[in-house]
Structure 1
Amino acid sequence: MEAVLTRTEQLRRSIIFLFLRLRRRHGFSLIYALAILVGYFGGLGSVLLHRAILWGDHFFFGVLGQLLVGVNHFRMMFLQASEEGHLLIHVLPHYRLFFLILIPAGGIMVTALLIRRFAPEAAGHGVPEVMVAVARNGGVIPPHVALVKTIGSALTISTGGSVGHEGPSVQIGGAIGSAVGQFFRMSSNGMRVLVGCGAAAGISASFNAPIAGALFAAEIILGDFAVSTFSPVIVASVIAAATSRAYFGNSPAFEIAGMYTLNHPVELPLYIALGIVAGFASLYFIRVFYWVEDRFEALKFHYLLKAALGGSLVGLCGLVFPQLFGIGYEPITSALAGRLTPLVLLILILLKPIISAATLGGGGSGGVFAPALFMGALLGDLFGQIAHGIFPMLQAAPGAFALVGMAALVAGTMRASLTAILMIFEITGSYEIILPLMLVTVTTAMVTHQFEPYTIYTLKLAKRGIHIGQEGDVDILGRLKVAEEMITDIEPVEVETPVDQILARVKTSKFDLFPVVNASHELVGTISFQDLRPILAEPGSLTRMLIADDVMNRDVLTVTPDASLLDALHCFGVRDVNALAVVDGSPQNRLIGILRRPDVLQRYRREVLFAGENTDQLLPDGGKNV
């Protein structure tokens, strides 16, 4: 085993050495070669997930459906019947409809069991977990998450779970990028970039939209448009799109029935109105989604019973509205073509967040990107039909509003305006619709932000106590730990030390905070310049009479080594102090170091500088010790 590991290590070092030589001679960086690798395998992972969903759909709604219900591919038949205004009870006998509930219930139960046993990180959307890995864990994602996420998401979606495959593709690609980075022992910055490359590959391959994939990774996952970060992401996104096209061709993700354009500037007020409506629809999506998911989490049932409940709810709603089954691309295509009635559109809009939350709350695996597109397309179609009813001479087709509505819901729920605009632009291939797209997405994002500071991704993390900023450089401190900057070479003051001895130490010390410990080295207080200033005006005899216990501040604000520097910076601001005591986090509160504010700010400035200008920071050990 050791010989195998040695050969693997030699291979790793040889590859890195080769690319470092290429870099010195030809300016070729290892990070770009790894971006190509991650882009290819990230795109391949998305292709595999898509194929697995198609195979599962054929089996569960084709082979198994014919066995249980007596109709082959009955989901497509139900969709057609629903568009024609018929309910399922008009298509099948009542007793056979019961089997329709069993398929999503069984799929979500198996998924919940699989994830709970093998990879709890694979539960839920996928995107928030990747965001945490990038912001707090140095880009580390366990490699087996990719396999479990693929199987779990394929099971959930192919059995009717009302979620998308884009979020899982992001997590699968991110896990692949992390695995590549871990193999080559990349730096923390390099790991982050490779995870971003994997995320971009997932979106790019899912939608055949390389520009949108790269922007999604930069906007949502990395929060960074620095050249050294964004360039490898673009490379990975392009490679992933090429990989996807090799399997599925160069067709758009959705069938567009014609070219939509802005016919006259008089239509712009209607698009602004759609943006406002979409803003409130985004709020409805976010809040209803998490309200339902929280209700599932509050249930004291066994997790398999929760899965059965969530799957049964999906099946029951699918009895009446089969458009809620699966990813939902068929209803989106119907909305773009204007084939759904206003009443059906309204009901589906109201139900979609509930059923998506029931799918994930029950233990299923899938993303919320596709549900947002689903709701946006149907909302835009409904708005367009109402607008045509009020203004019969309106030239813009309802499909144009549906297309713009898709971008609006992505911008409103995820604050990914650039991604939304360029994704729809790539799907349509038409520049003419870009003005309404820009106007609607900005309007929607503004309305949503007024009432909800979190996105559908960051709200999930905020509920766990994890706050990830969207401000780019500020979040650098959220990735760094107190342990990296704390000073451990300190001499604490014992609780019985005379004050005159403390004053003597102050004159020669580089610190302005002195932790006070007892005989067991437990932190009991601190002494700062502010605590000593009143004593300096007193006679010297008084300082000889007082001890540390008499003057120390017992209300101590501390941090632990695993806290982020961003959390520490907040603590500095709470008390307006320049140093914090670092404790081990045990009940004994043992002192292990000091963290100084100037050191934190200096680290921040250094990280910002290197993030924007030094690509060697992406390499193992900065490219020095390979």
Structure 2
Amino acid sequence: MIFRDKLLSEHRHLRNWMREQDTIYVVLLSIVVGVVSGYAALLLHFAIEWVSLFWTGERTWQQAMHDLPWYIYLIAPTVGGFLVGWITVRFLPGGELRGVAGVLADMVQRKGHVHPRQMATETAGAAIAIGSGASLGREGPTVALGALIASEIGRRVGLSEQQLRTLIGCGVAAGIAASFNTPIAGVLFALEVILADYAIATFSPIVIASVLATVVARSEVGNFPAFTVPEYHLISAWEIPAYMAMGVLCGIVATGFIKSMAPTRKWLAEVLPNRKVRPAAVGFVIGLMGLAIPQVMSIGYGFVEDMMLERTDPVLLGITLPLAAFLAIILIGKFIAVVLSSAGGFPGGLFGPTLFLGATVGALFGDIVHGLSPAYSESYGAYALVACGALTAAALQAPLTVMLIVFEMTADYHIMLPLMIACSVATMVTRSFGRTSVFTEALEERGIDTNWGREQSWMRSVPITRIPWRSIPRVSAHARLEELKQVYTGSGKGCVQVVDDEGLMIGIVTFGDLQQWLLDPALDHVVVASEVANRNVLVVAESDSLLDAIHILDRAEFEQMPVVSDDNPCKVLGMLSRNAIFSTYHKLIVKHGEGDHG
């Protein structure tokens, strides 16, 4: 018994010591997150293949699309839609956001605590949806799974908000790295899209998690990229203007893709208000589209690879079409299918579909350019490869991440010049219409502020208890004006709290409140404190953060505000001054900056 108590005491001592060593503690946890997230990514990958095998007899819809009976196209997405609708309503009754958008929403609204009920929709829901033919990708659910795993681990071991954000970044990086076999891009995606924080203390554990998730994925499926890509050649310097023009086209398509989501979601909600039935109805429509354009079903990476390797077979409904006409039909069909699938309630990611749309735009553009100038341009596969990155960069508003993904997949330095040009131009075109991405458009529709950043993240992690506050004198609500004046002038605090019989605040008195009562001494024994008190008081709770206090000060013109108990908003614990808040802010911003370079 004594030995056990001693062992438990040593364990607690070790755990407390590790918590004090912030970076070491998060690094150790990032190892766990990287390994577990890597296996979770594999689980989702295989689960999608199992569902696809059930419906088509093949691991992907692309492998079976020419041999499938017509009724499978209709039955699979419809039945999958019914199952998804039940899972979604059962586990996310409030219509919570899913995928990367859900992770971002939880980072803002829940301080990094990802909703645990998302596990059902991000695993079973996404596997059923994508495996049944919904025109979505697996990367979004994989990212959400990694974030969920990290959030659960961090919450259970009691991490601070800043540590939890870093650990969620580890899960996100692990998900991307395991999906594409791109560990560097996984790190940059977490830093660029999710955290907006490049501090060393954040960077190191994310790198570790990304590397370990990649090792796990490679141990099971081999060291293969997501796509087999061609060797790239820049035929002529005259191709650079062509890649810039293609970047403009990719930016326009990406903008249309982003802007179409909210109206489609609203229209479907009006036409099909029942959330259980909506995915099934949308699934039936996608199945009808699949009968004519089978390439729109499911993820479609096989067709993306065919375009890059220039082995596209331009046949629809038994009719051989000109390649440009065929690609234009595929582009329009996939665009509609993806928007319907996402807006219709199917869980799944938009990373993969943007790669598909980009490759199709590039192949179409490249076929036209090569036809006009074959001596000065590469064939359409090269343009498909570059546009795959350009449109995705614009849609995600993450050009650095996408450049690295394409570079890691090709391991070809020659592609970087046209890729950088196309990605930059496409992103600028889309950004000229707003900074919204496919990840943030649903957040903005719900009024969730997406303008968080590095500074806001650490300010949110600083509790009010770290800001020095002072005591505040109090008087009873029944106290005469004379007594109120004496307490106000005697304390020198510039503020007096007026309380009820239980000692709870009913209002605050400042000099501005007293001014109108100072001229007539006859009122000293007639007026009571409750009549003078300002009851419209903005307060900050003891569990709030430095960011919350600054937001309140930005909205109001006053020099002090009470800190109240979480249990009772009328129980005042102390008074915060504007000077104390901004003095703390300046000290911490200096310290934070030094920590980034240490």
- TM superposition score normalised by structure 1: 0.80
Deviations 1:201-224 (A, max 9, x none): 000000000000011111112211
Q: What residue in structure 1 maps to residue 317 of structure 2?
A: none
**Structure 2 CA distance for partners of 1:99 and 1:253, relative to 1, 3 Å:** closer
Q: Does structure 1 retain, via aligned residues, the 8 Å contact 2:56–2:64?
A: no
In structure 1, C-alpha distance between the alignment counterparts of 2:25 and 2:552, rounded to whole Å:
39
| Structure 1 equivalent of residue 292 of structure 2 | 320
1:466 aligns with 2:448: yes
> Which residue in 2 is equivalent to 1:624?
none
Query: What is the aligned partner in structure 2 of residue 68 from structure 1?
Result: none
Distance 1:360 1:592, change over 3 A: farther
2:163 alignment counterpart: 190
- After TM superposition, list the pairs within 5 Å mapping 1:325-336 onto structure 2: 325-336=297-308
- Judge which range, 566-575 or 209-218, deviates more: 566-575
From 225, 234, 241, give the equivalent of 2:198: 225
8 Å CA contact 1:468, 1:478 repeated in 2: no
Tell me the equivalent position of 1:85.
none
Residues 1:209 and 2:182 aligned together: yes
Give 1:365 shift: 1.4
Q: Does 1:445 align with 2:445?
A: no
Whether the 8 Å contact between 1:288 and 1:353 is mirrored in structure 2 is no
Match of 1:346 in 2: 328
Please say if residues 458 and 467 of structure 1, whose CA atoms lie closer than 8 Å, have aligned partners that are also in contact. Answer: no
- Give unmatched runs, 5+ long, in structure 1: 64-71, 81-90, 616-626
Which residue is equivalent to 1:284? 256
Matches within 5 A, 1:438-517: 438-478=420-460, 490-491=472-473, 497-498=479-480, 501-507=483-489, 509=491, 512=494
Decide which moves more: 177-186 or 425-434.
Answer: 177-186
Superposed, 1:189-588 pairs within 5 Å as 189-256=162-229, 258-298=230-270, 301-338=273-310, 339=312, 341-478=323-460, 490-491=472-473, 497-498=479-480, 501-507=483-489, 509=491, 512=494, 526-532=508-514, 538=519, 556-557=537-538, 565-580=546-561
Please give the root-mean-square deviation of Cα atoms over the aligned residues, in Å.
3.9
Aligned pairs for 1:147-162 within 5 A: 148-162=121-135
Q: Are residues 1:166 and 2:144 paired? A: no
Give 2:57's aligned amino acid. G
Following TM superposition, by how much is the alpha carbon of 1:46 offset from its aligned partner in structure 2, in angstroms?
A: 0.6
SS in 1 for 2:57: helix
Match of 2:43 in 1: 48
Alpha carbons of structure 1 residues 599 and 54: separation in structure 2 relative to 1, 3 Å: farther
Can you list the C-alpha shifts for 1:103-137, whole angstroms capped at 9, x where unaligned?
Answer: 11211221232243245699654112222333443
CA distance in 1, matches of 2:576, 2:271: 42
Paired residues in the alignment total: 582
Q: For residue 60 of structure 1, what is the amino acid of its counterpart?
A: W
C-alpha deviations, 1:12-58, integer Å up to 9, x for none?
A: 6487479689x8xxx99233232222111111111111111111111
In structure 1, what residue type is equivalent to 2:31?
A: I
> How far apart are the structure 2 equivalents of 1:213 and 1:571?
37
C-alpha separation between the residues in 1 aligned to 2:430 and 2:336? 19
SS of alignment partner, residue 468 of structure 1: coil
Change in CA separation of 1:17 and 1:476 when aligned onto 2, cut-off 3 Å = closer
Contact 1:211 1:422 in 2 (8 A): yes
Equivalents in 1 of 2:98, 2:417: separation in Å? 31
1:139 to 108, 112, 126: 112
Rounded to whole Å, the distance in 2 between the matches of 1:475 and 1:182 is 17
Instruction: Name the CA distance, whole Å, in 1 between partners of 2:545 and 2:121.
Output: 30
CA deviation digits over 1:465-519, x for unaligned, max 9? 3213343112333456768869696455666655554444444557555565667
Unpaired runs of 5+ residues, structure 2, are 315-322
Q: Counterparts of 2:333 and 2:502 in 1: how far apart (Å)?
A: 60
What is the TM-score normalised by the length of structure 2? 0.84
Partner of 1:618: none
8 Å Cα contact 1:380/1:406 also seen in 2: yes
Q: Deviations over 1:182-229 (max 9, x none)?
A: 343333332222211111100000000000001111111221110011
Say if 1:353 and 1:249 are closer, same or farther in 2 by CA, change over 3 A: same
**Matches of 2:6 and 2:429 in 1, distance apart?**
57
Partners of 2:466 and 2:102 lie apart in 1 by: 24
What's the counterpart of residue 54 of structure 2? 59
CA distance in 1, matches of 2:531, 2:157: 55
Q: 1:530 to 1:74 in 2, by over 3 A?
A: closer
